[in-house]
Structures are given as structure tokens and as C-alpha cells.
Structure 1
Amino acid sequence: MMTSLFSLFDPSSSILSLPLNWISTLLGLMFLPYLFWASPSRVLFLWFKTFLILQKEFKTILGPTNLGVSFIFVSLFSLILFNNFLGLLPYIFTSSSHLTMTMTLALPLWASLILYGWINHTQHMFEHLVPQGTPGMLMPFMVLIETTSNIIRPSTLTIRLAANMIAGHLLLSLLSSMGPQLPSGIIPILMFSQILLLMLESAVAVIQSYVFAILMTLYASEVN
């Protein structure tokens, strides 16, 4: 029995104290072996097309000296997208709704970009703290604002992804829990609303994956 609605996000299934819920994060790897022996399908062609479009967009943001960094962000998009969609299936743990996973994705990437920028492009990073045309009196305040903005970036990435995943799943759970108490005539309306909400959550799964990857790409472009 659930003690609260948020308990459905708890990684509670375990065998020998192993948190088996987190294995759902690796379920996306089940789709990879098909690439090596199956003939190309329409779904595979669509995925390759999406992959090329994303890589082209990321390369445009990063510039000509990206040195293959765009592949990292395309892979990041793929990982989040797989986990967001797998979380919409019944009885599958939504790992992307936990701050543990989203912070693990955001913080190391952000920290590595910041360290690389300050070590190799120190003057360029200082220039970012004071936008061009800032009056002299406002420069200390702009440095403080820009520094705070840079520090909270991993937190905003983390909370944005987790909160969007939690909100949709909570709404689906709330509507589904109302089913036994509703009259039989309202059940079709409830089912129709659930289907519409599931379609919305599918769109949110794609959008949040793209937003996470594109923001991280923009952060990487600032250190070049």
C-alpha cells in the first residue's frame, strides 16, 4: 500500500539488497543488438535521420572545432529519451524522474566544461562574466549575477527534467486512482483523458530530452 503518491517513484524492488529498479536505465541497450543483424527498417531509418539532424544542429552550435563533442550530446539525448519513454510503460521504474540520475548526468558534464574552460580559456571565461557594453558601475553586480547563473546551471537542469517527469506521472496516477469511485458512464471520459495525457507525456519525454541536451550543448559552446 502506498503511503503517499510520491512513493510510486521509490526504487523499492530489490533482491539481496540490490536495487533492481535502476536496471530499467539499461533497458535501452536491449534495442542496440538489432542494429547488427536486422535489416534496416523504417523505425531504424527514422532514428538515423533524427540522429543526423541532431548531430548537425549540435555541430552548428559548437562550431567547427567541436572535435566530435556533438556525439556526446546526441548520446545524452538518446539515453534520456529511452528512459523517459520506458517510464511511460506499466511497471517500469522511471529513473529519469529521480534527482539521483539527473544530477549524475548534469553535474559531471557541467563541472568538466567549467574546468576545461577556466584552465584552457581563462581570459575568454572572464569575458563571459561581464557582457559587452556593461557600464563600469554595474560590472561588480554583473560578475555576481553571471557567477550565480553559472553555479546553479546543473541544479536547474536536474530539477527541470525530474520535475517534468514526476508531474506527468503523478497526474496519470491521480486520474487512474479515481476510476473505482466513478460511475460507469464517466469511465470512457476518464479513459479518453488518460490517452490524451499519455500523448502529452510522450511529447514531454521528447521535449525534455532535447532541452537537456541542447542546453548542455549551449554551455559547452561558451567555453570555446
Structure 2
Amino acid sequence: MKMMTNLFSVFDPASSIFNLSLNWLSTFIGLLMIPSMYWFMPSRYHIIWNNILSTLHKEFKTLLGNPNQKGTTLIFISLFSLILFNNFLGLFPYIFTSSSHLVLTLTLALPLWLTFMIYGWINHTQHMFTHLVPQGTPSVLMPFMVCIETISNIIRPGTLAVRLTANMIAGHLLMTLLGNTGPSLASSIVMILLVVQIALLMLESAVAIIQSYVFAVLTTLYSSEVI
């Protein structure tokens, strides 16, 4: 029990200097990494980031499928950027990983889902009812399908939040476990451990990108059902 307490203590909100809580500071440090928008010639980093955002804009626009809702993709691009910054900052040593906590992920998922539901049920009530029964469902199964679709709709913000949190916690825990075994190993095995840790760090970098993309895409798909 003590070992598990120490293991999960890396996720405890306990970072402070002069009694000032610094837990969520990493959430805003990403703003310092954004390139200046007032350069006469944009940097390579700026060009690459603009290409990424324009690609996401085209993809989200395709997923939404409604040309009348202009500017909607900006919400999901901003969401992707915020989660990506937090995920990457969590890979640095001694930085509180805010995206590994349900407090942040639920704060992102729940208001968006709730807004989509309120908008859909007020403005497109009949359309929302038709979504409860998939096309081609036999009449006998319709009551069961309504219950299943309702439950799957209600748990959407929870699954969004838990998916991001679990993926960020899993990799960090594995790296922490391997890192804690380093002092007790022989020098020859430590070299292997370093290679494994570097490989895990690269994997976590990929997970950071994929999870932020998945979160933004799923939110876009949920919104496309009500627009």
C-alpha cells in the first residue's frame, strides 16, 4: 500500500514555492512557446504550426459538413492546441501534468458536450430524436436502442475525459516505475534502461499528439450531430 501511495504521489498537487501553489502553472507556460505574430518574416516553427492548423481546419470543416457555421473550427483547433501544449509540457521533469487530472479534462469536455446538447434539443429537437433510433432498426428493438443511444450519449463527456487522463497517466507511471529502479541496477543494465526510457519518451510524445487530436476530432463529431 505504501509503494502504491508513493507511486501515485507524482500526480499529487503538491508543487509550491513560498506557499504559492504552482500546480497549474504549466497550463499557461505554453503561451510563452507561441511564436510572435509580428515578425516581418515568419520562422520555420511558425510556418510548420500554421500548416498544421490549416490542415486541421480543413479536416474539421469536412467533419462538420455545414458551411453555414463559419468559424466553428476555431473552437476545436484551440482545444487541440491547448491539450497538445499541456501534454507536451507534462513530459518535462518537475512539471505538474495538468492533462492527467480529471479536473482539467472534464472541465474541457463537459461544458462543450452540454452546450451541444442544449443547442441541439432547443433548435433541432426532431433531428435529435431521430438520432436515438439508428436507421433500419426493427420496431421490436426500438425501445432498447433508444435506451442504449441515450446512455452512450450521456457518458460521452466522461469517456472523453477519462480517455485523455488514463493515457497520460499510464505512460508517466511506467516511466516513473522504470526510473525508480535505476539506482538499484548495475551500470550495464542502466544503459539499457536509458535506451528504454528514451523510447518511452518518444512513445509518450506520439501519445501526446494522438490524444489531443482524438479529443478534438471526437468533440467535432459530437457537434456535427447537432448542427
**What TM bracket, shorter-length normalisation?**
over 0.9
* 1:128 paired residue among 122, 126, 131: 131
**Cα distance in structure 2, aligned partners of 1:151 and 1:38:** 49
TM-score using structure 1 length: 0.96
Alignment of structure 1 residues 94-113 onto 2, 5 Å? 94-113=97-116
* 2:170 paired residue among 167, 181, 189: 167
- 1:43 match: 45
Q: Following TM superposition, by how much is the alpha carbon of 1:21 offset from its aligned partner in structure 2, in angstroms?
A: 1.2
Q: Does 1:20 align with 2:22?
A: yes
Tell me, yes or no, if the aligned pair for 2:11 and 2:97 is still in contact at 8 Å: yes
* Greater Cα offset, 25-34 or 67-76: 25-34
Alignment of structure 1 residues 1-224 onto 2, 5 Å? 3-15=5-17, 18-32=20-34, 34-37=36-39, 39-63=41-65, 64-224=67-227
Task: Show structure 1 runs of 4+ deviating over 6 A.
Answer: none
* Greater Cα offset, 77-86 or 131-140: 131-140
Match of 1:137, SS?
A: helix
Identity %: 67
Q: Which runs of 5+ in 1 are unaligned?
A: none
Tell me, yes or no, if the aligned pair for 1:73 and 1:217 is still in contact at 8 Å: yes
Tell me, yes or no, if the aligned pair for 2:15 and 2:96 is still in contact at 8 Å: no
- Could you tell me which amino acid in structure 1 is paired with residue 16 of structure 2? S
Give RMSD over aligned pairs: 1.6
Q: Following TM superposition, by how much is the alpha carbon of 1:67 offset from its aligned partner in structure 2, in angstroms?
A: 1.9
Q: Following TM superposition, by how much is the alpha carbon of 1:42 offset from its aligned partner in structure 2, in angstroms?
A: 1.3
Tell me, yes or no, if the aligned pair for 1:59 and 1:66 is still in contact at 8 Å: no
Shift of the 33–195 alpha-carbon distance from structure 1 to 2, 3 Å rule, reads closer
Q: Which runs of 5+ in 2 are unaligned?
A: none
- Could you tell me which amino acid in structure 1 is paired with residue 22 of structure 2? L
Deviations 1:188-219 (A, max 9, x none): 10000000000000000000000000000000
- Could you tell me which amino acid in structure 2 is paired with residue 211 of structure 1? V
Deviations 1:138-190 (A, max 9, x none): 11000000000000000000000000000000001011111101011111100
